[in-house]
Structure formats: C-alpha cells, structure tokens
Structure 1
Amino acid sequence: MTAHRKTADTLEVRARPRDRTKGILRLGQITVPCALGRSGIVTRKKEGDGATPAGRFELLHVYYRPDKGLPPPTDLPHEPLSPSSGWCDDPAHSRYNRPVDLPFGAGHEKMWRDDQLYDVVVVLDCNMSPAVKGRGSAIFFHIAREDYSPTEGCVAVAPAHMRLLLSLAGVGTNMVIVP
C-alpha cells in the first residue's frame, strides 16, 4: 500500500442557493460540485425522508468495487465490496445502519450496484454510534450520477473528484454539512 499524507481535516458541504439538491463541496482551495438528497439539507434526519443530514461526520471507512479499478488512494481504512455486500436499512432490525451479508431477510440496500454510484463509497459517522432507530441509515459519500441528480440523502461527487478528495483524507477527516 502506498503511503498517503492526510492534509484534509474538513470537507465542507453547502447547498447551492437556488437548488437544494445540488451543492458545493470545499476542501481548502479545492471546490467541486456535489449532489445532495432530494429533500435538501435538514437538521433532523428521519429514515426515508430523502434528506441530507446537517452536522459533522467523520469519514470512517471506504468500500470500493475491485472489478472497477484499483483501490482509491487513501489512508482511510478500506476494503473491497463483493456481490454479497449489503447495508441494513430496517429500523426494527438489530443490524440497523450496519453492513450485512446478502441474502439478508430484513430491509437492506445492495452495495454491489449495476450503476457506478457505489464504485467508491465512504461510510460517514452519521447515526452510527449508537444507531438510533429511524434516524437515518446508509448516509454515505459516494459517486454522483453524471447529471448530479439527487441522492436519497447522501453526498455524491464525480469519480475523479472522489479520488482526489480521498487522496487528501485520512483518519480524523470530517465532512461538515452546513444547513
């Protein structure tokens, strides 16, 4: 593994003034467009509301599709996804807002997708410790659609921007989402 040097303490995310589903992500002098949840940024997140939660969230872990390229350049903990990778989004289940292996009987999201959205996906420390039932799950930092159409509540950027930002991120880097 190549050593990278963490230079990013804070990734700041703000909605664009005239479109709550599109935002600007800043890291020092770097500014890139991003997609936000279909309901914009909110201060009180609820499961299924389509909103991006406001707050400070540490970048915890990176998952990537090994069949789509090399691991992203980062000092963050990272591991490959597999076709059996999932994420529990069922508030009634004990694995709520945690990774799971598929098949999985409760509500879940497939992490191995047919589109590019989860080719690289970063788990944010949003409703993780502890996971409060119904306060939102699977809030990730991931790859955006080409048109930056809204997410279900995540923050998403272009693949090249993701690789650049992750090369500067490390343990202790936070994403601050400003309401």
Structure 2
Amino acid sequence: MIHSPADLVLTRRGLRVLGRYLPCSIGKGGLRADKREGDGATPVGEHRITGMLYRPDRLPAPRPWAQPIRPGDLWSDASGDPGYNSPVRAPYSASHEVLRRADPLYDIVLLTDWNEEGMARRGSAIFLHQRRRAGFPTEGCVAFARPDLLWLARHIVPGARLIVR
C-alpha cells in the first residue's frame, strides 16, 4: 500500500502504476488535448485523483477515505448549470449521470480534478471505473477490469497524479 501519491501514467496501451501495467479502456473519442463535453474523449494532461466513491451495498470501502454512493447521488453534466461537473442529489432536473447504477460500472469510482472549476462545455465526469468488457470504449473515462480496479483502489491515495499522454 502506498502512503504517498504515486504517478499513474496512461497511454493508449494502458496504465502504468507502482511497477504494474493495468490494461484499460479510454474514451471512444481517443485521447485529446482539447476535450469538450460530449466528444467521448479522454483528456490529455496531468490530472489528480481527488476522491473515491464506492457502493457499500456491494463491497466494503477499499480505503478509509472512500465515500459511499447513496441512493439519489448524481453527477451533473449540465454545461452552464451551477452544479456542472460536481456531485448533486436527486431530485435534480438538469442533465446528470446516476452514480448508483444497476450495473457494476460505478461500484468503485476514482474521481479526478478534470475541469473541477466547472468551465462550461469543457467536459465532466472523467472517472476511473470498471469497464464493460475488454476493448469497449468509454465516454471519456478510464475503465479497468474489476480485479485491476480493486487493486488500484486499494493502493492509491488522494493527490496521485494521473498523467495522460
């Protein structure tokens, strides 16, 4: 287990962290330096891991600092809304993602600081989460096989750098 931030280096081939290589899926729009809301791209650059969410009804907290996903937890993807690119609660009429999903994709979610200032149309909800299946792209997130995501969640700390190139 790491106690200080480690670098996570992401390329089209996968994620390298702590001497391991974790295969992953990226956005269907590829890697882009000029990320925009809805383009399906994973943003190039240096980002930070800012938090972790998990489904307490499906697994124990991977780390003590992980926060539970409760019924009614959402993430705003409504560009121009005051809650854009941040957690919000139902009822919420603007565009959003449901965090407590029926499928296992968001059983563990590592949050990044991508567009944390909420600049309109710059893109939202760039998470590290479970993948659907090998080779299946995301809407811009980085997705892993469940065992690899569990390993990563147990070894990562807030502030770790996610370097996307």
Percent identity among equivalent residues? 36
| Distance in 1, Cα, partners of 2:78 & 2:88 | 12
Aligned mate of 1:153, from 116, 140, 145: 140
Aligned mate of 1:43, from 7, 16, 33: 33
Report the alpha carbon displacement of residue 7 of structure 1 after superposing the two structures with TM.
5.3
**1:139 counterpart = 2:126:** yes
Aligned mate of 1:31, from 17, 21, 33: 21
What is the alpha-carbon root mean square deviation over aligned residues?
A: 1.4
Query: Is contact 2:7-2:160 (8 Å) kept?
Result: yes
Tell me, which stretches of 5 or more residues in structure 1 are unaligned?
17-23
Report the alpha carbon displacement of residue 155 of structure 1 after superposing the two structures with TM.
0.4
Quote the residue 2:11 is aligned against. Answer: 14
* 3-state SS of paired residue (2:159): coil
Quote the residue 2:68 is aligned against. Answer: 80
* 3-state SS of paired residue (1:66): coil
* 3-state SS of paired residue (2:147): helix
Report the alpha carbon displacement of residue 8 of structure 1 after superposing the two structures with TM.
4.9
Q: After superposition, what is the alpha-carbon deviation per residue over 1:55-100, rounded to whole angstroms, capped at 9, x for unaligned?
A: 111101111111111111x36x321101201001001210000100
| Distance in 1, Cα, partners of 2:55 & 2:110 | 12
Name the aligned partner's letter for residue 93 of structure 1. Answer: D
Quote the residue 1:57 is aligned against. Answer: 47
Quote the residue 1:20 is aligned against. Answer: none
Name the aligned partner's letter for residue 149 of structure 1. Answer: F
Structure 1 residue runs of 4+, over 2 Å off?
4-8
Query: How many residues were matched structurally?
Result: 165
TM-score if structure 1 supplies the norm length? 0.87
Query: Is contact 2:110-2:127 (8 Å) kept?
Result: yes
Q: After superposition, what is the alpha-carbon deviation per residue over 1:148-168, rounded to whole angstroms, capped at 9, x for unaligned?
A: 401000001111111211222
Report the alpha carbon displacement of residue 111 of structure 1 after superposing the two structures with TM.
0.5
| Distance in 2, Cα, partners of 1:28 & 1:61 | 19
Query: Is contact 2:56-2:69 (8 Å) kept?
Result: yes
Q: After superposition, what is the alpha-carbon deviation per residue over 1:24-68, rounded to whole angstroms, capped at 9, x for unaligned?
A: 110132001001000100000000000000011110111111111
**1:166 counterpart = 2:156:** no
TM-score if structure 2 supplies the norm length? 0.94
Quote the residue 2:94 is aligned against. Answer: 106
